[in-house]
């Protein structure tokens, strides 16, 4: 399918690895110019280097950083058509999952919301005026299936993502008449560095369940989360949906929350 993204200007936060990297790769393959915001680059991102790709080193929990990234896109490429708020997950220095609400401090809650909600709020605040001036655009916020199906683990993360999903629908109501579509993609568990890095979710769950990390990735986690596909998702599967929502081919889709979760979410 031709997504009609050639020449479009996109910002992708958290774009050096995982879902963000897959999204950057997909948007570039579709002909978009992409500004990538992340704390540091990666070998995989560097391999995509070219005139249509710019990396901006940024700590998105810095209150000034998201607007600076948007401003850089305008300066380098002349505008902004697509914003993908992908940055999220464990704040720097934090390993998830966490198994109880009670140990979480006010600082833990603030850090989680800064990274998973307020960084997106600030990027959107900067992006919408630029998009409206250009006649419209698409914002895709990467939420999570746990925003709809909370559990005992990671209460702060689920709450932050639920807020992002709610915000998305509110923004879609206000700005659709001005040509700005706002949607969420809500992944289930995805085989990203969050899971696979040393000390990541696979190691945390392996210690909790008394098993090996490979068993967690291949069998234990999919079974525990009742994934009907029987496996963790691949980043590209989420990136494909993000690209479709970013595309003019989704011109009548706004305020949607699209689950890409392997059957994790069970409710209607």
- Convert the pLDDT of each residue in 63-94 to its tens digit: 999 999 999 999 999 999 999 999 999 999 99
Quote the CA–CA distance of 246 and 253 in Å, as a whole number. 10
Sheet with 82-85, strands from edge to edge, namely: 53-57, 33-38, 9-13, 82-85, 137-142, 180-187, 257-260
pLDDT of residue 268 exceeding 90? no
- Catalytic sites, residue numbers: 157
Place of tokens 């998702």: 233
Collapsed DSSP state (helix, strand, coil) of residue 225: coil
* pTM recorded for the entire structure: 0.97
39's tokens: 């704390």
For the chain, which domains are there? 9-189+234-259 (3.40.50.720), 191-232 (no CATH)
- Give tens-digit pLDDT for 172-208: 999 999 999 999 999 999 999 999 999 999 999 999 9
Helix (H/G/I), strand (E/B), else coil: 8: coil
């Amino acid at each position: 399918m031709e997504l009609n993204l050639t020449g479009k200007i996109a910002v992708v936060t958290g774009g050096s690895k995982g879902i963000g990297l897959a999204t950057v790769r997909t948007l570039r393959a579709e002909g978009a110019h992409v500004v990538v915001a992340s704390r540091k680059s990666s070998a995989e991102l560097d391999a995509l280097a070219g005139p249509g790709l710019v990396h901006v080193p940024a700590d998105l929990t810095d209150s000034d950083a998201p607007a600076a990234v948007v401003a850089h896109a305008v300066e380098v490429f002349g505008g902004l058509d697509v914003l993908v708020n992908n940055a999220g997950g464990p704040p720097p220095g934090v390993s998830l999952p966490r198994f109880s609400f009670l140990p979480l401090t006010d600082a833990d809650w603030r850090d989680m919301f800064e990274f998973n909600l307020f960084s997106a709020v600030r990027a959107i605040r900067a992006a919408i005026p630029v998009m409206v001036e250009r006649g419209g655009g698409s914002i895709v916020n990467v939420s999570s299936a746990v925003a709809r199906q909370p559990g005992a683990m990671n209460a702060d993360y689920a709450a932050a993502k639920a807020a992002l999903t709610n915000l998305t629908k509110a923004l879609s109501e206000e700005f659709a008449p001005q040509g700005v579509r706002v949607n969420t993609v809500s992944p289930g568990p995805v085989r990203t560095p969050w899971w696979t890095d040393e000390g990541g979710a696979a190691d945390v769950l392996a210690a909790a369940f008394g098993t090996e990390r490979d068993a967690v990735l291949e069998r234990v986690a999919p079974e525990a989360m009742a994934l009907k596909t029987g496996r963790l998702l691949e980043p590209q599967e989420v990136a494909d949906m993000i690209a479709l929502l970013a595309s003019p081919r989704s011109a009548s889709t706004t305020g949607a929350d699209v689950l890409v979760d392997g059957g994790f979410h069970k409710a209607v």
